[in-house]
Each structure stands twice: as C-alpha cells, then as structure tokens.
Amino acid sequence: MDLWIRSQDKMALAKFDLCVLEQYEGNYMFIADHYKNMGVYKSKERALEVLDEIQKLLNPICLLNTDLDKLGLKYHLSLDDINKLMENITKLWEKYTGSKLIINGLSNDMNFTNINNVIYQMPEE
C-alpha cells in the first residue's frame, strides 16, 4: 500500500515509507522520509491523534465486486433488503478483518480487489 501525504500548507504531496513525530520549539512536527514540516501541532496529544488517523488509513481497503443477478438476490429481495444485506456484510468484514470493504454491486464477476493508494491531507490544527 502506498501512503501519500499532502502537507499542512498544501504545498507538497509526497509518497512516504516512514513518518515520525519530532518535538521542535515546543511544537510537534511530522517528519516523513526526507521531507520536513509536513505538519506542525501545538500538543503531543493532537499530533498523536493525527498519527492515529494516518494509521487507520493504512489498514487494507478491499473492493468486493459482485453481480447481484448471479447471487440470485436481485429478484428475491427488495432494494432496501439488498442494501441492508450489503451493509451487514460490510460491518462483519470490517469487524473481523480490521480493513475497510467497499461493495460494487454492478460487476460481472465476484472478486476482491485491494485498493493500494492512500492520500492523507494533514489537518490545519
């Protein structure tokens, strides 16, 4: 999975393998690879919250491609029932795998696709 981070001032967008916090003049600065100052936060707690947000994005995201006709659901369930079913599948997937699931119900085949790129915008505060 590739992680891209856009700087707090929106002047840089870069791919990273490593992202760390460094204390600098009473603030906490994000250093990622060889880029300095991707974001600066006044408290350690806020900086850690941002790091937690980035970590959550790094959980794998999967796309479930399925054809509702082939599953036999289109003609046996109402659209509302299909939506509830897909919502429950998504919740169970995320609960047991820790990764996000996006369902595409308009595919010819049933398969999983990993989504590999993530772009994160550093919050202003």
Instruction: Name the DSSP letter for residue 122.
Output: P
pLDDT tens-digit series, residues 28-82: 988 877 666 788 999 999 999 988 888 877 766 666 666 666 655 556 767 677 7
pLDDT at 119: 65
Q: How many Cβ atoms sit within 10 Å of the Cβ of residue 5?
A: 24
Ramachandran angles phi, psi of 33, nearest 5°: 50, -125
Determine the Cα–Cα distance for residues 7 and 124; give it in Å rounded to an integer. 9
pLDDT at 84: 82
pLDDT tens-digit series, residues 83-110: 787 788 888 877 877 767 777 665 555 5
Determine the Cα–Cα distance for residues 89 and 66; give it in Å rounded to an integer. 12
Determine the Cα–Cα distance for residues 7 and 11; give it in Å rounded to an integer. 6
pLDDT at 124: 77
- CA distances 1 to 16, 30, 33, 61, 107, Å, are 10, 20, 16, 9, 24
pLDDT at 72: 59
Q: Which residue from 121, 25, 106, 19 is spatially nearest to 64, judged by alpha carbons?
A: 106
Determine the Cα–Cα distance for residues 119 and 37; give it in Å rounded to an integer. 17
pLDDT at 41: 92
pLDDT at 71: 59
pLDDT at 45: 92
Estimate to the nearest angstrom the gap between the alpha carbon of 40 and the chain centroid: 22
